[in-house]
């Protein structure tokens, strides 16, 4: 597992990266979701699935080529981690 | 099943309302998600879970009192339907 995405769980065939983010309030969840949408807009990369309630967001990233998780996916995951840090 | 929410599936114990919305593009999905966030902001009602990819949004509404789906949940579901209509 790449150090950059150590906190993400690699699962499934083809492999995907999964992580759950928990927040103290809906306002923080909302700020994170808005920042995540902006990141997708900026990079053109979209999580395979985003699943959220008022105080949690589950994110699944799939392999762009449908087979192997590469540098692009890991870099996106690291940027999502950074967003979560700043929505705290 | 209430006519207002006929297109929503009632499932689970306690009962929840579930519906899948499909869109032709990420831009339409994004417009719908933003409108849905504004509706939650306006009403103070939040879906129990929202689960989306680039061209679909799955919404689960739970009973506010944790037991019975009432008029407030059905009215919210009907307003969500109206949003989907306008994001087309």
**CA nearest to A23, candidates A12, A14, A36:** A36
Place A4 in a pLDDT band, splitting at 50, 70 and 90. low
pLDDT at A1 over 60: no
Instruction: Tally Cβ neighbours within 10 Å of residue B77.
Output: 23
Closest chain A residue by Cα to residue B30: A37
Residue A6: inside a domain = no
Kindly state the average pLDDT of the residues A8-22: 94
Q: How far is B7 from chain A (nearest CA, A)?
A: 22
Q: How far apart are CA B27 and CA B77, in angstroms?
A: 22
**Structural domains of chain A, count:** 1
Q: Do A49 and B54 touch (CB under 8 A)?
A: no
Residue A13 lies in a domain: no
Instruction: Give the model's pLDDT for residue A5.
Output: 67
Please tell me if residue A50 touches chain B, with a CB cutoff of 8 Å. yes
The verdict on residue B33 lying in a domain is yes
Q: What is the mean pLDDT of residues B70-87?
A: 91
Buried b (16+ CB within 10 A) or exposed e, A14-24: eebbbbebebe
What pLDDT is attached to residue A35? 97
Of B26, B46, B54, the CB nearest to A54: B46
**What average pLDDT score do residues A53-78 get?**
94
Listed residue (A52, A71, A51, A73) closest to A62, CA to CA: A73
B88 pLDDT more than 60: no
Look up the CATH number of the domain holding residue B56. 3.30.1360.20
What interface predicted TM-score (ipTM) does this complex get? 0.88
CA dist A20 and A56 (Å) reads: 7
| A7 within a domain of the structure (yes/no) | no
Q: What is the mean pLDDT of chain A?
A: 92
| Full-model pTM | 0.90
Q: Which domain holds residue B31?
A: 24-84
């Amino acid at each position: 597992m790449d150090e950059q995405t150590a906190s993400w769980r690699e699962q499934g065939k083809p492999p995907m990266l999964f992580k759950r983010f928990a927040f103290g309030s809906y306002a923080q969840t909302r700020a994170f979701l808005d920042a995540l949408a902006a990141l997708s807009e900026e990079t053109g990369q979209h999580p395979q699935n985003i699943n959220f309630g008022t105080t949690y967001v589950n994110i699944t990233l799939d392999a762009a080529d449908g087979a192997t998780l590469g540098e692009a996916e890991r870099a996106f995951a690291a940027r999502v981690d950074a967003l979560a840090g700043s929505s705290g």
